[in-house]
Structure 1
Amino acid sequence: MPWLAALAALTALRLVVAAVTPLAPDEAYYWVWSRDLQAGYLDHPPMVALFIRAGTMLAGETAFGVRLLGPLSLALGSILLARAAEDLLPGRRSGPWAPALLNATLLAGVGAVTMTPDTPLLFFWTAALWAAARLHRSGDGRWWLAVGLFAGLALASKYTAVLFGAGLLIWMVLDPAARRWLARWQLWAGGAVAMLVFAPVIAWNAAHGWASFAKQGGRAGSGDVAQALRYLGELLGGQAGLATPLVFLLCVAGAGAAAIAWWRRRDGGALLLAALVLPGAALFLWQATGSRVQGNWPAVLYPAAAIAAAGLLQAPAWLRLRIPALVLGGAMTAAVYLQAIAAPLSLPRRSDPTLARLGGWDAFVAEVAAAADRTGAGFIAAEEYGLASLLAFRLPPGRLVVAMDPRWRLFTLSSPPQGVTGLLVRSERRGEGPPLWPGAEALPGPQGRLVRSRRGIEAEAYRLHRVTAAPGQPPAVVLPRPGT
């Protein structure tokens, strides 16, 4: 099929971009997870660490190895999404168009070449959607076991996957044909499979004071009307940009069309799509009235929305938007890829996320190593977990890298050697307050400040401090190094 050939070519391109683009600090942090495998972490469940461990076992501890499963999982997820579209909306030839729309988004295009918890989440969410579509089309209750398996794996990727279970429940309550499953053993067996898959995460939280559940469950906030309007504007504007404007328009219209198709024709497939989009969208909109919603959080809404857009928007005006939506999305993604790799545009940090996250690391890491040599430092340290992890991933072999932050108490990594003097690298964005490291002494003069830049444009500035490891300090650990 032509669309499969296009998907294969796109996946090959993404693998190349993943190989030549430097890791971002968060990706390096998740790589540290892969070197200290646990059933849970403070920030998220462990699936991203398992993805990275599998990739680095196959391709080595390189940026390509860390990201290997990103492009591959999106390619497989795209095939499953096409099959789900045919099962939920048969006869509408929506199969190729649904994954095409999803792949045209920046959320998928950039997400495929970076490794974050959203990478396995989007794959397993899509796989669970495919299994639910097979259930709907075939009426075979055994598909509930597959739904439970993939939903459990999605939940072990990121807690946002709870919205999938909520959507299924809404579907079964509202659709008489699906409601019968509430009295069938297969549904409950599928639920048991999901809980069995997720049980290690629960056990880890129970053993660590419910740290991860408390962190993620405490994100809601409250603010005044001006804050609410600003956050809502950021959410809607961010989604229009990350989904790309025309794909976002099609997905919003498609989700609405799914709800209308259920209301008018009692179309169970359309109801399932609406149930997997609209409640989550409402939740994120509500959350935005009190706190900032990160742009990647609603990514899980787009697989079902893309199916709805591809299968239910059949009016000529909507059909004419499909090709422009793919072209615009592809052009925007290509521009981001090009800027991340070659930076042809000289943009300031506030206008260029690739500069903030990816720019200038090679020269900066070399300068840090040189500063450590000049000062005779026995280790290099950082308070920011992403910076510390990136230094551990990129510094030359033989360097000892230490991270200091309360989150490290939840890891099983070793403590730094006592009485050894090291070099603390601290971003100026942390303000002028004292470092976490007790007794830190700022290095004087120009040698005490480093600037990470790309083509002369500053990405971030850092201060250097002399520190000594001693008993009774805040939690600090020695980070793993590639190949050790």
Structure 2
Amino acid sequence: MPWVAALAALTALRLVIAAVAPLAPDEAYYWVWSRDLQGGYLDHPPMVAVFIRAGTLLVGENALGVRLMGPLALALGSVLLARAAEDLLPGRRAGPWAAALFNATLLAGVGAVTMTPDTPLLVFWTCALWALARVQRTGDGRWWLAVGLFAGLALASKYTAVLFGAGVVVWLLLDSSARRWFARWHLWAGGAVAVLAFAPVIAWNAAHGWASFAKQGGRAGSGDVGQALRFLGELIGGQVALATPLVFLFCAAGAAAAAWAWWRTRDDGALLLAALVLPGAALFLWQATGSRVQGNWPAVLYPAAAIAGAGLLQGRAWLRLRVPALALGGAMTAAVYIQAIAAPLPLPRRSDPTLARLGGWDAFAAEVAAAADRNGAAFVAAEEYGLASVLAFRMPAGRVVVAMDPRWRLFTLPAPAPGVTGLLVRSERRGEGPPLWPGAEPLTGLEGRLVRSRRGVEAEAYRLHRVTPALGQPPAVVLPRPGA
């Protein structure tokens, strides 16, 4: 099939981009997780660490190893998304177009070449959607076991996956033919499988004072009307950009069309799609009235929305708009790829997220190593977990990198040796307050400041301090190094 060949070519391109694009601090942080595998972490469940560990075991501890599973898993997810579309909207030839619309988003295009918890989340969410479509199409209750497995693995990737379960419940309650599953063992067995898949995360939280559940459950906020309007504007504008404008239009209109199709014709497949999009969308819009919603959080809504957009918008105008939607999405994604790798546009940090996250790390790590040598430092340290992790990934071999932050007490990494002098690297964005490290002595003059830049454009500036580990200081650990 031509679309499968196109997907294979796109996956090959993504693997090349994954290999050559610089690693971001968050990715390096998740790589540290992969070297200290646990049932959970403060920020997220552990699946991203499992993906990274698998990739680095296959091709080594390099950028491709960290990201390897992303392009491959999203290719599989795209095939299953197409199959789900054929099951839910038979006869509409929606499968290839649904997969294409989803892959045309920046969320998928950038998510495929960077490794974050959203990557396994999207993959397992799509797998669960496919298994649920099998339930709806075949009526075979055994597919509920697959739904439970994939939903549980999605939840072990990121807590946002709870929205999948909520959508399933909405579908079961509203669809008169689906309600029969409440009386059958298959549904409950699938739920048990989901709990088993998620059990390591529950066990880890129980052993660590429910730290991760408390952190992720405490994101609610409140604000005045002005703040609410600003947050809503950021959410909607961010989605238009991250989904790309025409694909966002397809997805939003498709979700509305799914709800309308069920209301008018009681289309069971359309109801399932609407249930997996609209409640989550309403939740994010409500949350944005009180606190900022990060642009990547609604990513889980797009697989079902892409199916709805491809299968339910069959008018002539919509059909003519498909190719421009894919072209615009591809062009926007390509522009991000090129800027991340080659930076042909000398954009400032505020206008270029690739500069802030990816720019100049190799040269900066070399400068930090040289500063450590000049000051006789036995180790390099950082308070920011991302900065510490990216230095651990990029510093020359044999260097000791120390991280200091309360989150590290939840890891099983070793503490630094007391009584030796190190060099603390601290971003100027943290302000002029004192470092967390007790007794930190700032270096003066030009020796005390380093700048990370890309092609002469400043990404970030840092201050250097001499520090010495001591008993009773805030938690600090020695981070793993590639190959060590």
Give TM class, smaller chain. Answer: over 0.9
Distance 2:184 2:265 in 1: 26
Partner AA of 1:423 in structure 2: L
Query: Could you tell me which residue of structure 2 aligns to residue 22 of structure 1?
Result: 22
Distance 1:447 1:291 in 2: 41
Query: Could you tell me which residue of structure 2 aligns to residue 5 of structure 1?
Result: 5
Q: Give 1:210-229 correspondences, 5 Å limit.
A: 210-229=210-229
The offset of 1:438, in angstroms, is 0.3
Alignment of 1:103 onto 2:112: no
Partner AA of 2:300 in structure 1: V
The offset of 1:221, in angstroms, is 0.2
Deviations 1:435-473 (A, max 9, x none): 000000100000100000011111000000000011000
Q: Give 1:340-351 correspondences, 5 Å limit.
A: 340-351=340-351
Partner AA of 1:370 in structure 2: A
Partner AA of 2:110 in structure 1: V
Partner AA of 1:343 in structure 2: A
Partner AA of 1:396 in structure 2: P
Distance 2:258 2:367 in 1: 55
Query: Could you tell me which residue of structure 2 aligns to residue 142 of structure 1?
Result: 142
Distance 2:285 2:379 in 1: 46
Partner AA of 1:64 in structure 2: L
For structure 1, list consecutive stretches of 5 or more residues without a partner in the other structure: none
Alignment of 1:301 onto 2:301: yes
The offset of 1:317, in angstroms, is 1.1
Deviations 1:43-96 (A, max 9, x none): 000000000000000010000000000000110000000000000000000010
The offset of 1:30, in angstroms, is 0.1
Query: Could you tell me which residue of structure 1 aligns to residue 195 of structure 2?
Result: 195
Q: Give 1:70-109 correspondences, 5 Å limit.
A: 70-109=70-109
Q: Normalising by the residue count of structure 1, what TM-score does the alignment of the two structures yield?
A: 1.00
Task: Classify the secondary structure of the residue corresponding to 2:95.
Answer: coil
Partner AA of 1:275 in structure 2: A
Distance 2:332 2:385 in 1: 31
**Which portions of structure 1, spanning 4 or more consecutive aligned residues, are displaced by more than 6 angstroms?**
none
Deviations 1:293-342 (A, max 9, x none): 00000000000000000000001111111000000000000000000000
For structure 2, list consecutive stretches of 5 or more residues without a partner in the other structure: none
Query: Could you tell me which residue of structure 1 aligns to residue 208 of structure 2?
Result: 208
Distance 1:134 1:466 in 2: 61
Distance 2:256 2:320 in 1: 19
Query: Could you tell me which residue of structure 2 aligns to residue 186 of structure 1?
Result: 186
Distance 1:256 1:377 in 2: 60
Q: Normalising by the residue count of structure 2, what TM-score does the alignment of the two structures yield?
A: 1.00
Query: Could you tell me which residue of structure 2 aligns to residue 332 of structure 1?
Result: 332
Partner AA of 1:362 in structure 2: D
Distance 1:319 1:227 in 2: 39
Task: Classify the secondary structure of the residue corresponding to 1:320.
Answer: helix
The offset of 1:266, in angstroms, is 0.4
Alignment of 1:263 onto 2:252: no
Task: Classify the secondary structure of the residue corresponding to 1:462.
Answer: strand
Distance 1:459 1:397 in 2: 25
Query: Could you tell me which residue of structure 2 aligns to residue 398 of structure 1?
Result: 398
The offset of 1:362, in angstroms, is 1.2
Distance 1:308 1:202 in 2: 34
Distance 2:368 2:111 in 1: 29
Distance 2:359 2:335 in 1: 16
Partner AA of 1:23 in structure 2: L
Deviations 1:387-441 (A, max 9, x none): 0000000001110000000000000000000001000000000000000000001
Distance 1:199 1:107 in 2: 29
Partner AA of 1:66 in structure 2: V
Q: CA RMSD in A?
A: 0.4
Deviations 1:11-53 (A, max 9, x none): 0000000000110000000000000000000000000000000
Query: Could you tell me which residue of structure 1 aligns to residue 55 of structure 2?
Result: 55
The offset of 1:200, in angstroms, is 1.0
Query: Could you tell me which residue of structure 2 aligns to residue 444 of structure 1?
Result: 444
Distance 1:456 1:229 in 2: 37
The offset of 1:479, in angstroms, is 0.3
Query: Could you tell me which residue of structure 2 aligns to residue 176 of structure 1?
Result: 176
Partner AA of 1:127 in structure 2: C
Distance 2:348 2:42 in 1: 33
Query: Could you tell me which residue of structure 2 aligns to residue 317 of structure 1?
Result: 317
Query: Could you tell me which residue of structure 1 aligns to residue 409 of structure 2?
Result: 409
Q: Give 1:281-296 correspondences, 5 Å limit.
A: 281-296=281-296
Distance 1:402 1:477 in 2: 6
Query: Could you tell me which residue of structure 2 aligns to residue 240 of structure 1?
Result: 240
Query: Could you tell me which residue of structure 1 aligns to residue 363 of structure 2?
Result: 363
Distance 1:60 1:362 in 2: 18
Distance 2:316 2:90 in 1: 20
Distance 1:147 1:227 in 2: 39
Q: Identity percentage over the alignment?
A: 86
Alignment of 1:471 onto 2:471: yes
Partner AA of 2:11 in structure 1: T
